[in-house]
Every structure is written in structure tokens, then in C-alpha cells.
């Protein structure tokens, strides 16, 4: 990755970097977590403001390049490391490309040297150097994020899918700072007992605040770094989970707009994968109170693949949670949004694949009442619902419980066969009906008979209604409309 940075390029962390399951262990309970609730405000609160105040500008001092590490004896490398950190504390204006050109290049070269020094494993850096390095990193990355585009104009928020991301102009330097932090965290020379004094709860909260950055490159680095911190610093694990919880709560119930929900869910996917069995009550509460309600916001399309993965992980870990998950899905099932409904059907299929027969029986009536409504919905939704019968596991569960399921959805099938305009839906419906006939012809005939009786009864009631209206009209004609009104 460092070679790419030397060339000015950017490489996303590999899949293994962001998805390796963290070590499992007995997590300790921690104190309640408070997350900064200022909307896109200062990422770190008062302490960050103090850190930023220590940052220097070219006006307050002269930036001069420091010697290379290879040009000084080993005994002087720690002092040179501190000097280079001092250079990187200079605050530069990246909104104007023609401003501080010399200083920007000096800082960029110095950051690359620091990254290379940490990556090379030339030796353990002293505790004072570690403290200064985290201070320098904090000065550079912890900042107020720019407001979202609709906040600048006062207009109504637009669809997040249609928004163009606002890229960070200082990214050529920020990327190197993030790379330095990542290399420090993953280094085998980093002693967690020392490092946790500087990568503390306050530092983690400020990192979490930055997940609302609109720049996807920054969120990718944050995701990888936080995942590595979670894996290496066991003492932070309960705190990180609770802090992410609080971000989700605020997103669901207050702002419904956050750029980093998908990345946070990717981290949680790895965390959930490492949960020990039997699953703790705190994890089950997280599923019910945070993950399932994440289906509610309109922007669920932006992070649904990651959310679906987390939900499925819970069911695969503990099959008894299938009933809870399915009922949660049905609770937040969209009514007027076809795109969301198709996503929900896909997620339902994944959950049903991991569902055992006993749990399926507990919620199958509610499931197929909803599927019945989907079968008579828009043609995209109806088509996706019919695709469920392509899944062998789901067909097996349906076959075992056909006596309950077929009567629920039979009428929806008949409506599609009698009058659906879309040929694909019509054909798929005919195939599924044929499948039920082959499963149990006697049951199918019984459902057909009940449907015919229901149709005949409905026709009889309609005819009786027509007759009643006709009689009323005749009575009105005989007595006069005026008499009918006055009487």
C-alpha cells in the first residue's frame, strides 16, 4: 500500500483487512457511552479544539525539511522522529492549491518517511514518541466536517443515492496520516498496555464521529482502523459496541442521515461472526433495539447489504432468533416503496434458508400473509416473491406445512392467473400452482373448491346488493325524491 501512496495513488484495504473476525474473549461491561451529538460539528469536542490550537501554521513558524532517517545514527532516530512529528503538526490550507506549495510538499514527504519508518519495524519507538505521534494524528484528522449540501442551502434533503460525495481536499495528506495510524495499530512492536493510554475511549469516540465524512476514501480507512483497534484492544470492545449502538439510535430516531452506517455495519458483521455461544443477552438486545429498527429509515437502500449480512449472522449463530428476526422484518415491511420491498424479500429468503422447521412454524402464517400481498403487488415485487419457490430449502419448509400455507396464498395465485397483465408473473404463478398440485393434488382441489364457494358467495352478495339498490330506486321513483328526503 505504501508504494501506491508514494505514487500518489490510493488503494482500498483488502477484504481480509476489513473482515477478519476479531479475537473472541470475555468482554467486560463498561460504563454508558456518550457520543458527540452536535450535527456534523467538531469531531472531538473541547479536547480537539485544544489540540487544534496547538497546531502551527506557516505564519507562526518556519517549516524546514528534516534529515532522512538513514542519514542519522541509531541513537538520534528517536529525536529525529519527534522532529518530523513536529513538522507534521503544521496546519495548511488545502482549499487553495497555489498556497503553501513548498510547505505542503515538505509535510507530504515527512509523512511518507514516518509511515515507512513505522512499517519497516526499525525498532520500538519510545512512549513519549507514541504520545506525540497520536497528538500529531489527532491534530490532522480530528476536525469539523463540512455540512451536508442541503444544510448549506436550506433546501429539503435530497435522496442520499443521488448525492455526489464531497471529497476532502486535504486527502493527499490525510491518507498518509491514516496510513501511519493504521501501521502503528497493526504493528507487532506496538505494546497495547502503552498504546491504550493514548488510543483511549476519547480517541475512539472521535474516530467514530468521523464516520459521517462524505469522502468514501476516508470512511474506508476509518473502517479498517476501527476494526483493527477492536481486535487488538480487548478493553475497548464493549465501549466500541455501545458507541456504535448510540450512533444507530440517533440515526434511526433523530437525524435519519449518516454517511457511515454501511461501514459501521461491515465492522459489526465481523464482530457478530466472533460472538461466542450461548449468545449474551446484551447482543440479543442489540439485534432487537438497533439492527432490526435500521430497516425503518428511507435510506436503508444505501446500507441494506451490510445490514442483511449482520441479521443473517445472528440467525446462523443462534437459530432460535429466526422467529424474532422475521417478526422484526414484518414489523418494518414497506407499504408503498417497491424498491425496499424487493430488498426485504431478498433478506427474508436469506433468513429462511437458515431457519429451522420449529421456528418457521411459529411465524409462517404472518410470513405468507405478507407474501400473499406481495404476489398481487407491482409486477417487480410479485416476480421477486415468486422467485422464493426457486429456493429448495424454502420449498421444503413450504411442502412440510402446505396444509397451512396453501389456503393463505391460493387466492393470490388465482388473481394472478385470472388477470395479471405481466406475462412473466403469469407464467411464474402457473409454475408455482403446478408445484402445489404435484405436492398434494387433494389439498389443491380442496382449496380450489373453497375458493369457488367463496367466489359464488361473493357473487350472491353482490347480486343481493344490486337488487336492494334497484328496489330503493323503484321506491324513490314511486314516492318521489322530495318525499324520500323529507321523510
CA dihedral 186, 191, 196, 199 (to 10 degrees): -40
Q: State the pLDDT at residue 28.
A: 38
pLDDT-above-70 percentage for the chain: 82
Binned at pLDDT 50, 70 and 90, residue 155 comes out as low
Q: State the pLDDT at residue 95.
A: 86
Q: Read off the pLDDT of residues 4-60 as tens digits, 9 standing for 90 and up.
A: 444 444 444 443 344 444 444 334 333 334 344 333 444 343 333 344 334 455 545
Instruction: Report the length, in residues, of the chain.
Output: 487
Which CA distances in Å does 220 have to 12, 227, 316? Answer: 7, 11, 27
Compute the distance between CA of residue 73 and CA of residue 386 in angstroms, rounded to an integer.
72
Contact 101, 54 (CB under 8 A): no
pLDDT for 77 beyond 50 = yes
Q: State the pLDDT at residue 415.
A: 92
Main-chain dihedrals φ then ψ at residue 90, nearest 5 degrees:
-65, 135
- In DSSP notation, 200-259 reads -HHHHHHHHHGGG-S-HHHHHHHHHHHHHHHHH-GGGHHHHHHHHHHHHHHIIIII---T
The torsion region of residue 154 among left (phi > 0), alpha (psi -120 to 50) and beta comes to left
Compute the distance between CA of residue 332 and CA of residue 352 in angstroms, rounded to an integer.
17
Q: Read off the pLDDT of residues 444-458 as tens digits, 9 standing for 90 and up.
A: 999 999 999 988 898
Amino acid at each position: 500500500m505504501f508504494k501506491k501512496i508514494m505514487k500518489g495513488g490510493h488503494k482500498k484495504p483488502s477484504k481480509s483487512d476489513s473482515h477478519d473476525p476479531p479475537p473472541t474473549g470475555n468482554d467486560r461491561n463498561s460504563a454508558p457511552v456518550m457520543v458527540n451529538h452536535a450535527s456534523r460539528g467538531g469531531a472531538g469536542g473541547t479536547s480537539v479544539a485544544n489540540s487544534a490550537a496547538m497546531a502551527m501554521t506557516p505564519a507562526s513558524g518556519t517549516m524546514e525539511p528534516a534529515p532522512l532517517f538513514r542519514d542519522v545514527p541509531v541513537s538520534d532516530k528517536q529525536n529525529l522522529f519527534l522532529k518530523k512529528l513536529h513538522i507534521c503538526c503544521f496546519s495548511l490550507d488545502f482549499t487553495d492549491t497555489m498556497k503553501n506549495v513548498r510547505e505542503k510538499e515538505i509535510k507530504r514527504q515527512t509523512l511518507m518517511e514516518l509511515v515507512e519508518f513505522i512499517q519497516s519495524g526499525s525498532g520500538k519507538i519510545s512512549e513519549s514518541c507514541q504520545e506525540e505521534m497520536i497528538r500529531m494524528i489527532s491534530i490532522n484528522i480530528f476536525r469539523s466536517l463540512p455540512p451536508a449540501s442541503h444544510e448549506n442551502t436550506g433546501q429539503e434533503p435530497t435522496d442520499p443515492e443521488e448525492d455526489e460525495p464531497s471529497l476532502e481536499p486535504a486527502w493527499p495528506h490525510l491518507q498518509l496520516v491514516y496510513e501511519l495510524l493504521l501501521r502503528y495499530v497493526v504493528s507487532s512492536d506496538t505494546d497495547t498496555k502503552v498504546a491504550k493510554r493514548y488510543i483511549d475511549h476519547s480517541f475512539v469516540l472521535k474516530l467514530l464521529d468521523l464516520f459521517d465524512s462524505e469522502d468514501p476514501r476516508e470512511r474506508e480507512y476509518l473502517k479498517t482502523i476501527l476494526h483493527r483497534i477492536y481486535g487488538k484492544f480487548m478493553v475497548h470492545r464493549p465501549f466500541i459496541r455501545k458507541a456504535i449502538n448510540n450512533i444507530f439510535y440517533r440515526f434511526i430516531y433523530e437525524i435519519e442521515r449518516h454517511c457511515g452506517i454501511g461501514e459501521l455495519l461491515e465492522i459489526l458483521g465481523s464482530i457478530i461472526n466472533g460472538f461466542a455461544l450461548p449468545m449474551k443477552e446484551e447482543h440479543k438486545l442489540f439485534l432487537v433495539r438497533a439492527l432490526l429498527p435500521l430497516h425503518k429509515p428511507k435510506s436503508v437502500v444505501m446500507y441494506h447489504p451490510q445490514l442483511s449480512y449482520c441479521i443473517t449472522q445472528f440467525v446462523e449463530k443462534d437459530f432460535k432468533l429466526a422467529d424474532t428476526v422475521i417478526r422484526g422484518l414484518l414489523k418494518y415491511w414497506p407499504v408503498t416503496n417497491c424498491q425496499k420491498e424487493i430488498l426485504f424479500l431478498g433478506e427474508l429468503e436469506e433468513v429462511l434458508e437458515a431457519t429451522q422447521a420449529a421456528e418457521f412454524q411459529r411465524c409462517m402464517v404472518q410470513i405468507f400473509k405478507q407474501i400473499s400481498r406481495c404476489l398481487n403487488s407491482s409486477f417487480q415485487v410479485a416476480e421477486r416473491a415468486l422467485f422464493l419457490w426457486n429456493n429448495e430449502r424454502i420449498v421444503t419448509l413450504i411442502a412440510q406445512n402446505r396444509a397451512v400455507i396453501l389456503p393463505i396464498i391460493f387466492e393470490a395465485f388465482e388473481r394472478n392467473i385470472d388477470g395479471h397483465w405481466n406475462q412473466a408473473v403469469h407464467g411464474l404463478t402457473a409454475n408455482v400452482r403446478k408445484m402445489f398440485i404435484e405436492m398434494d393434488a387433494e389439498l389443491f382441489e380442496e382449496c380450489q373448491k373453497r375458493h369457488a364457494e367463496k367466489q359464488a358467495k361473493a357473487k350472491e352478495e353482490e347480486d343481493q346488493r344490486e337488487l336492494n339498490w334497484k328496489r330503493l330506486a323503484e321506491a324513490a321513483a314511486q314516492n318521489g325524491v322530495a318525499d324520500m328526503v323529507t321523510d
